[in-house]
Amino acid sequence: MSDQKITVQRTVDASAKDLFEVLTNPKRHTELDGSGFVRSDERSNRIQGVGDVFTMNMEGDHMGGEYQTDNHVTAYAENTMVGWQTAPAGTDPKGWEWLWELDAQGPDSTLVSLTYDWSKVTDKELLQQVSFPLVSKGQLEDSLGNLAAAVSS
């Protein structure tokens, strides 16, 4: 863990393909969220590649209650990686990113890495308003556990 990035890992008893299916379906993201911020997707389509944008309905005190985010896909490699930068709906990304990486350990076992990186946030006003990290290492680890549960259901 650096001072601007947190990475957690867990081996999940599932294929990288099955995990990727869950991760690229925004409708399933409420099942994954260990932070408690994600409420639902806003009629989003499955993530198909870099450049896609999906919108999530969120809630958190740091934003004064309910809000939406647009998530701009920045990384996509089938069955291996998916990532996005988050921004308040209707705005450009501000520099924080979520990256899921899948390393198949066999047909039914995958090492999953989840990185929350805010090192590209350069807006000084935003850095004063938002106390990064908004999501703790424990909450990220909960997201890995939630992914393991979601893929088995």
Tens digit of each residue's pLDDT (9 = 90 or more) over 132-151: 888 999 999 999 999 999 99
Its domain, for residue 11, covers 5-152
Specify the CATH number for the domain of residue 133.
Answer: 3.30.530.20
Q: Is the pLDDT of residue 48 over 90?
A: yes
Tell me what pLDDT residue 57 has: 87
* 111-to-54, 84, 107, 129 alpha-carbon distances in Å: 25, 20, 12, 35
Mean pLDDT throughout 82-105? 94
Sign of CA dihedral 87, 12, 77, 21: negative
Mean pLDDT throughout 8-28? 97
Q: How many domains does the chain have?
A: 1
